[in-house]
């Protein structure tokens, strides 16, 4: 005769199984809530840095052309508070004397912002430039300080990935090169490698679920990001000057050296957004697909097109921010050479400066070895 276990014993086992299942479910829910919290914190921090960048650029513009209603410009070293939503930014600037007699026509200006984020941690943002009292067209030149936080990987991501990029997972991030534009780029967080170019509906914002679906369905690609700023210093606001097409029509073209068949480079910019916000610079991002094997790499040259570039009066000149930052005797790929050779990774901060043809490209004194000191040297790139 088969003996059945007591009913109370069976109920005890069922209750224990239910408790274990609830525990597992609780742990999963807590992990999901923690992930959502971290994503919300990172998104808020990226928005704060974007707002700080906008305020810093606004201060630079105010230093160039003081105007009624512009952001207050108190004396150097004196800070003001600027409230944007719930965040309060402390804003000030410093101006330094020239480092050598050959640099007497310029002054370096550093725009500083500090604030406390929603987690109670202090955050900072710095933007550096040059003031030129003799030539208003070259009054402020934006640049990236050597060894500064702007060259470090934000939020554990590769330094070529923009701060406002959205984290799709621990491995992937995505951003729109032109806010509201028809494309999104999906990148590997660790390397900055471009994994997909996803089409979006015109005027739509970046959507996480839609972008993840694109990453799974789109053909796999492997490209490297080449990115930077194109800055216009023509003495007037590019959106109101007599040459309205200069900023809107500017574009980057990549000329690749001969190699294996590969997709043509794709370049994007935010000129529409720049005109809408009356900015004097546009941001560009190019996806370059390697055409040389073992290791996969590319060589070639980037140029600006869509502008009236030449040496005659009324035409424009293109300078590139370029200097031997590491002191090895030549311009490396990351230092923005005239021609790139055997590029095997993403290259951020490849910035250009557009000026009138009669001006010379501004040159800095020899780079200082002081960490964080910006080197604003430029070289003529076109014509």
pLDDT at 243 (0 to 100)? 47
First to last CA, the chain: 101
Please compute, for residue 70, the number of CA atoms within 13 A of its CA located in the half-sphere on the CB side.
15
Quick: pLDDT tens for 161-187. 888 788 888 889 998 888 878 888 999
Partners of 166 in beta bridges: 174
For the cut 80, the answer to whether the pLDDT of residue 257 exceeds it is yes
Q: Are 115 and 90 in contact (CB under 8 A)?
A: yes
Interior/surface letters 148-185, b for 16+ CB within 10 angstroms, e for the rest: eebeeebbebbebbbbbbbbbeeebbbbbbbebbeebb
Residue reference for tokens 């570039």: 309
Domains and CATH numbers, the chain: 44-61+77-134 (2.20.25), 135-382 (no CATH)
The whole-angstrom separation of Cα 55 and Cα 126 is 11
Q: Are 375 and 322 in contact (CB under 8 A)?
A: no
Structure tokens at 253: 């073209």
The whole-angstrom separation of Cα 197 and Cα 214 is 8
Strands lying side by side in the sheet with 172-175: 166-167, 172-175, 183-188, 194-199
Q: Are 218 and 196 in contact (CB under 8 A)?
A: yes
pLDDT at 67 (0 to 100)? 47
CA-based max dimension of the chain: 110
What average pLDDT does this structure show over 132-153? 42
pLDDT at 380 (0 to 100)? 94
Element (H, E) at 259: none
Residue reference for tokens 């965040």: 87
pLDDT at 333 (0 to 100)? 93
Omega into 295 within 30° of 0, i.e. cis?
Answer: yes
pLDDT at 237 (0 to 100)? 40
The better pLDDT of the pair 287, 242 is held by 287
**Which residues, 6 or more positions from 179, have their beta carbon under 8 angstroms from its beta carbon?**
270, 273
Distance of CA 360 to CAs 97, 314, 315, Å?
A: 22, 14, 13
For the cut 60, the answer to whether the pLDDT of residue 99 exceeds it is no
Question: In Å, how far from its chain's centre is CA 301?
Answer: 21
What count of other Cβ atoms lies within 10 Å of the Cβ of residue 55? 20
Confidence class for position 9, pLDDT limits 50, 70, 90: low
Structure tokens at 251: 């574009």
Confidence class for position 8, pLDDT limits 50, 70, 90: low
pLDDT at 133 (0 to 100)? 46
pLDDT at 70 (0 to 100)? 41
pLDDT at 31 (0 to 100)? 72
For the cut 70, the answer to whether the pLDDT of residue 100 exceeds it is no
The whole-angstrom separation of Cα 140 and Cα 63 is 8
For the cut 60, the answer to whether the pLDDT of residue 69 exceeds it is no
pLDDT at 42 (0 to 100)? 74
- Which pairs with CB-CB distance under 8 Å and at least 24 residues apart come from 279-282? 279/57, 280/61, 280/231, 280/232, 280/233, 280/237, 280/238, 281/142, 281/229, 281/230, 281/231, 281/232, 282/229, 282/230, 282/247, 282/250
Residue reference for tokens 């992990």: 31
pLDDT at 143 (0 to 100)? 45
Please, what is the Cα angle at 168 between 164 and 171, to 5 degrees?
A: 105
Structure tokens at 184: 């999104």
For the cut 90, the answer to whether the pLDDT of residue 320 exceeds it is yes
The whole-angstrom separation of Cα 269 and Cα 68 is 31
Q: Are 359 and 138 in contact (CB under 8 A)?
A: yes
Quick: pLDDT tens for 83-97. 887 888 998 888 765
What average pLDDT does this structure show over 22-51? 76
Quick: pLDDT tens for 355-367. 899 888 887 655 4
What average pLDDT does this structure show over 241-266? 78
For the cut 70, the answer to whether the pLDDT of residue 73 exceeds it is no
pLDDT at 204 (0 to 100)? 78
Question: In Å, how far from its chain's centre is CA 258?
Answer: 29
Instruction: Report which listed range, 25-34, 126-135, 137-146, 212-221, is most confident.
Output: 212-221
What average pLDDT does this structure show over 136-156? 44
**In this prediction, what percent of the chain has a pLDDT beyond 70?**
76
């Amino acid at each position: 005769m088969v003996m059945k276990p007591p009913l109370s014993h069976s109920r005890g086992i069922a209750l224990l199984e239910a408790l274990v299942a609830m525990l597992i479910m609780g742990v999963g829910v807590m992990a999901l809530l923690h992930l959502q919290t971290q994503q919300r914190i990172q998104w808020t921090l990226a928005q704060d840095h974007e707002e700080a960048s906008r305020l810093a650029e606004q201060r630079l513009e105010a230093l160039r052309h003081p105007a009624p209603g512009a952001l207050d410009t108190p004396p150097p070293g004196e800070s003001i508070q600027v409230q944007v939503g719930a965040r309060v930014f402390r804003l000030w600037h410093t101006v330094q004397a020239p480092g050598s007699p050959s640099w007497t026509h310029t002054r370096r200006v550093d725009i500083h912002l500090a604030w406390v984020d929603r987690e109670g941690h202090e955050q900072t943002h710095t933007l550096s430039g040059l003031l030129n009292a003799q030539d208003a067209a070259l009054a402020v030149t934006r640049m990236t300080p050597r060894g500064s936080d702007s060259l470090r990987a934000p939020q554990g991501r590769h330094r070529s990935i923009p701060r406002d990029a959205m984290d799709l997972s621990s491995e992937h991030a995505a951003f729109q090169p032109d806010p509201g534009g028809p494309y999104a780029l999906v990148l590997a967080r660790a390397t900055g490698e471009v994994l997909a170019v996803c089409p979006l509906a015109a005027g739509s914002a970046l959507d996480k679920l839609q972008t993840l679906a694109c990453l799974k369905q789109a053909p796999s690609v492997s490209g490297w990001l080449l990115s930077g700023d194109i800055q216009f210093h023509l003495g007037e606001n590019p959106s109101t000057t007599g040459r309205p097409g200069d900023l809107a029509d500017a574009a980057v073209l990549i000329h690749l050296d001969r190699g294996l068949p590969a997709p043509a480079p794709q370049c994007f910019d935010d000129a529409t957004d720049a005109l809408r916000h009356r900015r004097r610079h546009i941001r560009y991002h190019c996806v370059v697909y390697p055409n040389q094997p073992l290791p996969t790499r590319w060589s070639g040259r980037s140029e600006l097109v869509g502008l009236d570039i030449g040496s005659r009066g009324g035409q424009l000149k293109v300078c590139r921010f370029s200097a031997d930052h590491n002191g090895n005797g030549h311009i490396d790929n990351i230092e923005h050479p005239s021609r790139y050779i055997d590029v095997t990774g993403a290259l951020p901060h490849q910035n250009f400066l557009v000026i009138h043809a009669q001006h010379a490209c501004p040159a800095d004194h020899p780079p200082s070895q002081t960490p964080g000191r910006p080197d604003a040297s430029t070289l003529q790139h076109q014509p």
